[in-house]
Amino acid sequence: MTLPVVVPFHDDEVALDLPSRLAHANGYSSVRRFVEAAGIRTTDLAAGEEIAIERLAKWSGVEPERLSKFAQRTLGRSLRWKLGEAMFDKESRVGHRYRYCPSCVAHDIETGVGRPGALTYTRAAWMTRSIRTCVIHSEPIVEAPYSKTFGRDFSRYVSENATEICGHANCATTTSTPSNLDVYLNDRIFGIARQPYLDQFEAYVVVNLCVYLGQFVKKYRSALGEFSEAPWNLGDAEVGFFFAIQGETAIRHLMSIVLRSSWLTGARKMPFGPLALWLRRNRDNSDCAAFVELFQNISERNLPLGPGELSVFRTRRRYLHTLLSASTEFGMSDERVLQLAETAGLVAHPLPRLNKVLIDADKLNAVLKAATATLTSKQARERLGVTEVVMSRILKAGMIDLVEQKNDGRKFARIRNEDLIKFQTKLFSKVGMLSLDDGGSYTTIADASRRCFCTSDELIALVRDGSLRHVGALPNHAFRLSDLLVDWTEVMEIFVEKRLAAKAAGNEVAGAQMDVHSTIWKNDIAHGVPSYLLNNRQAARLLRVAPPTIRYLIDNGYVSTTADRNIKTKRKQAYISVESVERFAENHISIADLAAQLETHPVIIEKMLSKNGIKPIYEQEGRVARFYQRSELEPLNMFSLRVR
C-alpha cells in the first residue's frame, strides 16, 4: 500500500534515508515508528535485502530497481562492500554517523518541493568516507553522530539543525575545482569509466594506491623538479591521483627518478616506507596483485639488489650491479670491473662516486663471464711452465692473441683459454719420437737458449714454424714448454747461419750482437741479464720494494743468487734467480701491498695483525720492507689473497 504522501526519489539518492523522509512527510513521530509499521529492518534496507526493498517500494511507490541501486552489500569475510558499481574497503564505511554537504542540504531546503521536513535526501557519494569533498560544491563533507534517542533519522537531524547547517553552507570554504579523486570515485559509483588505466582496478585499491603513492612522492619531492604542475599543495591522495591517472609507464618513470636519486644521495636501499607496508599487507589480495608486481619490479629494476635482498619483497633477480656486487660475484677487483664496463660502453661519464655506479646486470654479466673465460698472463705462464720474462716475450711476439693488454691499473694481460690451447697444440704437434742416437744432444728450451746465445721465444718460434727437424718432449709433458726438448746442435747451426748471413749482408753490428746474444732485450728488464736471472733493480721492481730490501732478502737466504756471465760485459757476476723471487712472492706479501689491498694504512695493518699474534718474518731494518707469510693471513679471511 502506497502512503498518502510520497516524496520524489532522486537518481543519486540512497534508499537508506527514504524511510526518514516518508515518516516526516506522513506525520510519523519518528522513523522507528515508520519502519516498525512497514515491517522493514534498517540494516536489511541498507544491504539491499530483497524483502526490505520490496516492502519499501510498496510504501513509497518507487521501483525496487531504483531503490536497490546504491545498496551497500558486504562481500564475504573480507568486509569489503559495494556502493553502486564501486567496491570499497571496511575503512571507508561511514559507521554510525551522518555525512553531508551543507551546501547541498541548504539547496534542498531552498528549492525542494513537498513537506518541509522531507526535502533533504542522502546522496550516494556521502555514503563512503573515501569521498571527502562534495563533487558539486567542492567543499568538505561534514560528519555528525546519530542521535542517541532516535538513531539514524536524517530528516529529523536536518530539521533540528537547519539554521546551523545553512549558516555553515554560507561560510563554507570552497576550492575553484572539486577534488579530482572524489569526482573519479563518484563516477565509479555510477559506473562511469573515464580513466582507462585506473578503471581496471577496484575503487578501494585506487584510493589506497593514491594515498600511499602521494605520501611517497611528496616525501621525495625534491627529486621531482620536472613535475612542477603536480598539485603539491593538496593532500596525499590528490597528489597520488595526479600521477596514477598517467598510467603504468608514468609511474615507472616517477619511481625510477626517486629510487635512483635516493641511491645516489646515500639513502637506504628500500625507501618505500608506508607504500611497501601496504603492498605487503595485500600480497595475497588478488585485487592488488598488479600493483604488488609493478612496484616489486620497479624496485628490482632501479635498485642494485641481488636475489633474496629486501626491496618491497625479497628480490627475485638482479637487474643492476654496483662495482662491489659485480666484483664479489665474479671475484674481480672493483677497478677491473669498471675497466671492463667502460670498455663495453656500459657506464656513462661523468661517473658518480664509484660506490654509486649502477650498471645493467645482464649486459655486465655477459662481459664478466667472457672475461672469466680468459686467463691472466700469470696463469698462462704457469700452464706453459715458463718464467714471466719468457711469457712476456711470447706475448710481445704475437704468438698468442691478447684479449686485454696490461695497463697502469692491471698487472696481467688476459688470454683466451682456447687460444692458449691452440698455441700448445700447435707446438706439440711438431713433437716426434726421440732417437736414441740423437738423445745426447736433446735438451730443454731454456738450456738450448743458453748454449746457443738466443732467447727462449726465438726457439719457441722455430718449433712453432716447423723449422726444427728434431723436436721431442718428456713423458707426461701436459703441453708444458718446460718439458719440450730440442736438439741444441741443430739450433746452433740455424743461429750460426743467421749470424753469417747478417755479416754477409754488411750488418756488422747485428752480426756482432748475434754473436753475443741473438737479441738483446728491448725493455728495461734486459741490458745483459740472462732470461732466467734478475739483477737487484729488476728483483726490486718485481716485488715492488726498494733495492735495500732485496739485499736483505739475499743476505738472509729468502731468495737465492747464482754467478753467471753478463752478456754485455762478458764477465761473471751475481744474479738473483727468477724462480726464487717468484717462489718468495707466492708465499709472502709485503705490508705495503697488504695495506693497499685492504685500502688502509700499513700502521693499521701492523696493529691489527699484531693483535692477532701475527708478526712479520723479520723485524724492521731501516728501509727494508716487512713481509708476512700468506699462510698465516689466510685463516683471518681478511681478503682474497692474490698471488703475485
In the predicted structure, residue 559 carries a pLDDT above the cut 80 = yes
Q: Which grid cell is 627?
A: 713481509
Q: How confident is the model over 354-382, as a mean pLDDT?
A: 85
Q: How confident is the model over 463-481, as a mean pLDDT?
A: 83
pLDDT above 90 covers a percentage of the chain that reads: 40
Q: Which residue has the higher pLDDT, 188 or 523?
A: 188
Q: What is the pLDDT of residue 180?
A: 95
In the predicted structure, residue 510 carries a pLDDT above the cut 50 = no
Q: How confident is the model at residue 405 (pLDDT cuts 50, 70, 90)?
A: low
CB 351 within 8 A of CB 357: yes
Burial group, residue 403, by CB count within 10 angstroms (0-12, 13-18, 19+) = middle
Q: Using alpha carbons, list the distances in angstroms from residue 300 to 53, 247, 267, 398, 599.
A: 52, 19, 16, 45, 30
Q: Which residue has the higher pLDDT, 177 or 188?
A: 188
Spell out a b/e string for 74-91, using b for 16 or more CB atoms within 10 Å of the CB, else e. eeeeeebbbbbebbbbee
Lowest pLDDT segment from 96-100, 346-350, 406-410, 447-451: 406-410
Q: How confident is the model over 126-147, as a mean pLDDT?
A: 93
The model's pTM is 0.63
Whether omega for the bond prior to residue 102 falls within 30 degrees of 0, making it cis, is no
Q: How confident is the model at residue 528 (pLDDT cuts 50, 70, 90)?
A: very low
Q: How confident is the model over 442-469, as a mean pLDDT?
A: 82
In the predicted structure, residue 452 carries a pLDDT above the cut 80 = no
Q: Which grid cell is 621?
A: 731494518
Q: How confident is the model at residue 404 (pLDDT cuts 50, 70, 90)?
A: low
Q: What is the pLDDT of residue 227?
A: 77
How many other C-beta atoms are found inside a 10 Å radius of the C-beta of residue 630?
A: 16
Q: How confident is the model at residue 412 (pLDDT cuts 50, 70, 90)?
A: low
Q: How confident is the model over 72-98, as a mean pLDDT?
A: 92
Q: What is the pLDDT of residue 574?
A: 84
In the predicted structure, residue 492 carries a pLDDT above the cut 90 = no
Q: How confident is the model at residue 459 (pLDDT cuts 50, 70, 90)?
A: confident
Instruction: Give residue-wise pLDDT tens across range 47-79.
Output: 999 999 999 999 999 999 999 999 999 988 778
Instruction: Give residue-wise pLDDT tens across range 159-173.
Output: 999 989 988 877 765
Q: What is the pLDDT of residue 86?
A: 97
Q: How confident is the model over 247-274, as a mean pLDDT?
A: 82
Instruction: Give residue-wise pLDDT tens across range 11-41.
Output: 999 999 999 999 999 999 889 999 999 999 9
Q: What is the pLDDT of residue 372?
A: 76
Q: What is the pLDDT of residue 520?
A: 29
CB 514 within 8 A of CB 499: yes
pLDDT above 70 covers a percentage of the chain that reads: 87
Q: What is the mean pLDDT of the chain?
A: 84
CA distance 330 to 140: 59
Lowest pLDDT segment from 58-67, 190-199, 577-586, 624-633: 577-586
Encoded amino acid at 582, one letter = E
Q: What is the pLDDT of residue 170?
A: 73
CA distance 172 to 174: 6
CA distance 338 to 144: 65
The DSSP letter of residue 621 is B
Give alpha helix (H) positions in 409-469. Answer: 417-428, 445-451, 456-465
Q: What is the pLDDT of residue 148?
A: 79
Q: How confident is the model at residue 515 (pLDDT cuts 50, 70, 90)?
A: very low
Instruction: Give residue-wise pLDDT tens across range 203-257.
Output: 999 999 999 999 999 988 887 777 778 888 899 999 999 999 999 999 999 999 8
In the predicted structure, residue 639 carries a pLDDT above the cut 60 = no
Domain ranges of the chain: 15-181, 195-302, 320-372, 376-516, 587-636
Q: What is the pLDDT of residue 521?
A: 31
Find residue 572's DSSP bridge partners.
565
Please, which contacts does 221-227 make with residues 24 or more away whose CB atoms are closer than 8 Å?
223/257, 223/258, 223/261, 223/262, 224/254, 224/257, 224/258, 226/257, 227/254
What angle separates helix 248-264 from helix 289-302, to the nearest 10 degrees? 40
Q: How confident is the model at residue 597 (pLDDT cuts 50, 70, 90)?
A: low
List Cβ neighbours of 94 (8 Å cut-off, separation of 6 or more).
Answer: 126, 127, 128, 129, 143
Most confident of 200-209, 217-226, 296-305, 352-361: 200-209
Q: How confident is the model at residue 134 (pLDDT cuts 50, 70, 90)?
A: very high
Q: Which residue has the higher pLDDT, 376 or 125?
A: 125
Q: What is the pLDDT of residue 65?
A: 96
Q: What is the pLDDT of residue 84?
A: 95
CA distance 471 to 433: 8
Q: What is the pLDDT of residue 541?
A: 81
Distance of CA 173 to the CA centre of its chain: 48
CA gyration radius for the chain? 44
Q: Using alpha carbons, list the distances in angstroms from residue 210 to 130, 241, 242, 480, 580.
A: 11, 5, 8, 69, 71
Q: Which grid cell is 423?
A: 698455441
Q: What is the pLDDT of residue 524?
A: 34
Quote the Cα angle for 574-575-581, to 5°. 140
Q: Which residue has the higher pLDDT, 490 or 203?
A: 203
Q: Using alpha carbons, list the distances in angstroms from residue 33 to 40, 47, 153.
A: 10, 20, 11
CB 456 within 8 A of CB 462: no
Q: Which residue has the higher pLDDT, 500 or 458?
A: 458
Q: Which residue has the higher pLDDT, 394 or 405?
A: 394
In the predicted structure, residue 641 carries a pLDDT above the cut 60 = no
Q: Which residue has the higher pLDDT, 335 or 44?
A: 44
Task: Please count the residues of the chain.
Answer: 644
Please, which contacts does 85-88 make with residues 24 or more away whose CB atoms are closer than 8 Å?
85/188, 85/189, 85/190, 85/191, 86/128, 86/185, 86/188, 86/189, 86/202, 86/203, 87/202, 87/203, 87/204, 88/128, 88/130, 88/203, 88/204, 88/207
Q: What is the pLDDT of residue 375?
A: 82
Nearest to 532 by CA among 488, 580, 495: 580
In the predicted structure, residue 643 carries a pLDDT above the cut 70 = no
Give alpha helix (H) positions in 220-273. Answer: 236-244, 248-264
